[in-house]
Structure formats: C-alpha cells, structure tokens
C-alpha cells in the first residue's frame, strides 16, 4: 500500500473512531433498566477508549505526512434506546472495526514498529470491548 493510500485508510478509521466516541457516549446517556448505572459507566469508559484511538490515529497520520480528518463517519452514528439494541449495535460495530483494522495491519510492514504496534494495541482494545459487551448481554 502506498503512503497516501495508508493515510487514506487511517483517516477512514479516524472518521469511524469519531463516530464510535459519540455513539458510545450517547448510548451511555440513554441506557436504562436494571444494572444501568454499571453499564452506563462501562459505555462511557469505552467512549473514552475510542477517543484515545482517534488521538493515536491522528498522531500516526501526521507522522506519515498526512492531515487528520475532522469528519465523522455518519453511518456509524446508530441510535438505540434499549439495552439489547445498544449491545447488538456495538458488538457489530466492534466486529467490523476489528476486521477493518486487521486488513490495514496486514499491509503494514512489521519494521514500521510504531504504526504496527499502534494498530495491534487498538485491535486488542476493540477485541476487549467486544468481549465485555458480549458479557453484558
Ligand atoms: Fe476504536
Ligand atoms: Fe471499540
């Protein structure tokens, strides 16, 4: 993958991370029902993780000579108001993010240690998110 293609792919993930941060924060605000306090807290923590992913991506994009996007991937801004839908939507989104990041990782040479490890760290977080959401079901 060329440098400019890589920057484009990372910017595409950055748009998705922007949406993930907003989506989790909104779902945290609206979730209700038994154990909702614990779930709210967890969703807010995940929202913070997604913000951290966005920060890491911006730094890597700048390091590659690119410009980090301000855009939000609107298709990922999925409304939900009940716990089952909230969990389902986010489990699907996490699964898609893991697939997308893994595809990008496959094109990055391991010698590019910073980017390689950054992507691995993000994938690990997304896998942990997926596992936690599955356990909340
Ligand atoms: Fe993320
Ligand atoms: Fe995530």
At 137 the pLDDT is 82
For residues 9-23, average pLDDT: 98
Which tokens go with 9? 């792919």
Contact 98, 126 (CB under 8 A): yes
Per-residue pLDDT band for 42 (boundaries 50, 70, 90) equals: very high
Per-residue pLDDT band for 1 (boundaries 50, 70, 90) equals: confident
Contact 105, 66 (CB under 8 A): no
Q: Minimum-distance ligand to the CA of 126? A: 2
At 12 the pLDDT is 98
Model pLDDT for residues 45-95, shown as the tens digit of each residue: 999 999 999 999 999 999 999 999 999 999 999 999 999 999 999 999 999
Whole-structure pTM value: 0.96
Percentage above 70 pLDDT, the chain: 100
Q: Minimum-distance ligand to the CA of 131? A: 2
CATH number of 3-136: 1.20.1260.10
Q: Could you tell me the distance, in angstroms and rounded to a whole number, from the CA of residue 24 to the centre of ligand 2?
A: 9
Q: Could you tell me the distance, in angstroms and rounded to a whole number, from the CA of residue 35 to the centre of ligand 1?
A: 24
Q: Minimum-distance ligand to the CA of 122? A: 1
What letter does residue 108 receive in the DSSP assignment?
Answer: S
């Amino acid at each position: 993958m060329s440098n400019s293609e890589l920057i484009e792919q990372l910017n595409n993930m950055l748009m998705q991370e922007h949406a993930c941060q907003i989506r989790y924060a909104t779902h945290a605000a609206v979730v209700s029902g038994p154990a909702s306090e614990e779930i709210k807290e967890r969703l807010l923590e995940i929202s913070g993780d997604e913000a951290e992913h966005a920060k890491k991506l911006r730094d890597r994009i700048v390091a590659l000579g690119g410009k980090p996007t301000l855009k939000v991937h609107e298709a990922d801004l999925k409304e939900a108001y009940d716990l089952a839908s909230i969990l389902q939507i986010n489990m699907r989104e996490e699964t898609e993010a893991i697939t997308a990041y893994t595809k990008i990782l496959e094109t990055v040479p391991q010698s590019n240690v910073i980017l390689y490890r950054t992507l691995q760290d993000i994938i690990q977080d997304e896998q942990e998110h997926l596992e936690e959401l599955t356990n909340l079901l």
